[in-house]
Amino acid sequence: MSKSDRTGGNAVPLNIQEPTLLLDRRKAIRNIAKMAGKAQKSGVRFRPHFKTHRSARVGEWFRDFGVEAITVSSVDMAIYFARHGWTDITIAFPVNVLQIHKINDLAREIELGLLVESPEVVHFLSKNLAFKANVWIKIDVGYGRTGIPWDRAAAVEALAREVERTGNLGLRGLLTHAGHSYQTTSKEEIRAIHEDSIFRLRQARDALKQGGFPPVELSTGDTPTCSIVGDFSAVDEIRPGNFVFYDLKQLRLGSCSEEEIAVAVACPIVAKHPERNELVLYGGAVHLSKESLAMADGTRVFGRVSFLERDGWGPMLPDTYVSSLSQEHGIVRTTADVVDRVRIGDILIVLPVHSCLLAYLLKEYHTLDGTILPSESSVCAPTSQARC
């Protein structure tokens, strides 16, 4: 098996030996350009969620499109991006009071946005936050995960009053994540969720206005909605994240085309089972996560499969998918034709069900032109730095 045999004569300067996270930079930049253009056309702030890529280097690509404000999902991720020059960061996760020291460090250095939904957390911040921060009241527009339900006007108003009474918190606006858009089966349903969300956010804002509050901002933005809806002028900012890479879940929802999926995992073939048209990949749950998609017949799919090609990866192979994952093994169900065509030591490409977990699991990106981009997760565990 010569090297060119193993990679199908691929000219991409990659030396893949183990499961490797590939990033097609051109696709990602096109995805960013498209979403930034949409935000600009709608006249809203584009505050992309950086939890998907978790990479300072990928983050830089957004600056070319005028992005100055970002969203993250943890205090540690905020610290990471603040260290890399981002000065306006919203942590789109309920305040974790146990991390108040880190939150104070951030609030001293940057324009920090925090999410609140309960009087006790506002009270805690009023006593323990040593610097000014913006707060967004988290509104539940129907997802049912976190936030004050949109129609509890009294609770929203009471929390806003609580914020007003503090000396260190400024009420920036109302924020929602319409995560139920992920449970839809048609673009129409996604559009309907968007309409509802906007209506509900505005109702909550109107209630505040009637309570004597000045108008506050509205922030929204899951990837399905932001990809499918064209106009966002009803809100002040959008915060999609996944769109930078997309994945099979988004493809199924109709948020993206196959050609827009910008990341994939390259996996070596380690065994062939022609008798049952299966291949065994080095690439398991620790590389791909256990995220799966349910097919109409109940089959679970942990990834779709394609060949490595000269300039990236080819189209998804028909009747070919990752059918199960162990810790390190991935089993590919495929056709006799594919089994015939590949050899042990060849690389197969797995398109991910959910791209947001890949950066965390695989720690670094290999772009198709041979650059390695570290993610936040390639940094050592906090307490282990001395051991590196």
Q: Which parts of this chain interact with a copy of itself (CB under 8 A)?
A: 1, 6, 16-18, 51, 73-76, 93-99, 102, 117-118, 120-121, 124, 144-146, 179, 268, 270-273, 276, 280, 282, 285-286, 289-291, 324, 326-329, 331, 343-345, 356-357, 360-361, 363-364, 372, 374, 377-381, 383-385, 387-388
Of 212, 45, 195, 58, which Cα lies nearest the Cα of 134? 45
Q: In the complex, what is the shortest distance from the CB of residue 309 to a copy of itself, in angstroms, rounded to a whole number? A: 18
Q: Which is nearer to a copy of itself, 273 or 310 (CB)?
A: 273
Q: How many CA atoms lie within 13 A of 97 on its CB side?
A: 13
In the bound complex, what is the minimum distance in angstroms from residue 205's beta carbon to a copy of itself? 22
Q: Which is nearer to a copy of itself, 158 or 379 (CB)?
A: 379
- Residue 196 or 364: which CB sits closer to a copy of itself? 364
Q: What angle do CA 80, 84, 86 make, to 5 degrees?
A: 95
Q: 25 vs 102, which CB is nearer to a copy of itself?
A: 102
Q: Which CB atom, from 35 or from 353, has the smaller least distance to a copy of itself? A: 353
Q: Shortest approach of a copy of itself to residue 374 CB, angstroms?
A: 5
CA 292/CA 301 separation, integer angstroms:
5
Q: Which is nearer to a copy of itself, 146 or 168 (CB)?
A: 146
- Nearest to a copy of itself of 44, 242 (CB atom): 242
Q: Which is nearer to a copy of itself, 44 or 159 (CB)?
A: 159
- Answer whether 78's CB lies under 8 Å from 90's CB: no
Closer residue to a copy of itself in complex, CB, 38/220? 220
Nearer to a copy of itself, 233 or 385 (CB): 385
**What's the per-residue H, E or C state across the chain?**
CCHHHHCCCCCCCCCCCCCEEEECHHHHHHHHHHHHHHHHHHCCEECCECCCCCCHHHHHHHHCCCCCCEEECCHHHHHHHHHCCCCEEEEEEECCHHHHHHHHHHHHHCEEEEEECCHHHHHHHHHHCCCCEEEEEEEECCCCCCCEECCCHHHHHHHHHHHHHCCCEEEEEEECCCHHHHHCCCHHHHHHHHHHHHHHHHHHHHHHHHCCCCCCEEEECCHHHHHHCCCCCCCCEECCCHHHCCCHHHHHHCCCCHHHCCEEEEEEEEEEEHHHCEEEEECCHHHHCCCCEECCCCCEECCEEEEEECCEECCCCCCCEEEEECCCEEEEECCHHHHHHCCCCCEEEEECCCHHHHHHHHCEEEECCCCEEECHHHCCCHHHHHHC
Q: How far is the CB of 30 from a copy of itself (least distance, A)?
A: 24
In angstroms, what is the minimal distance from the CB of 139 to a copy of itself? 13
We find the least distance from the C-beta atom of residue 333 to a copy of itself, in angstroms, to be 12
Distance of closest approach, residue 163 Cβ to a copy of itself, in angstroms: 16
> Encoding tokens for residue 377?
């997760």
CA dist 191 and 354 (Å) reads: 22
Measured from the CB of residue 54, what is the shortest distance to a copy of itself in angstroms?
Answer: 10
Residue 43 C-beta: closest distance to a copy of itself, Å: 30
Shortest spacing between CB 303 and a copy of itself, in angstroms:
14
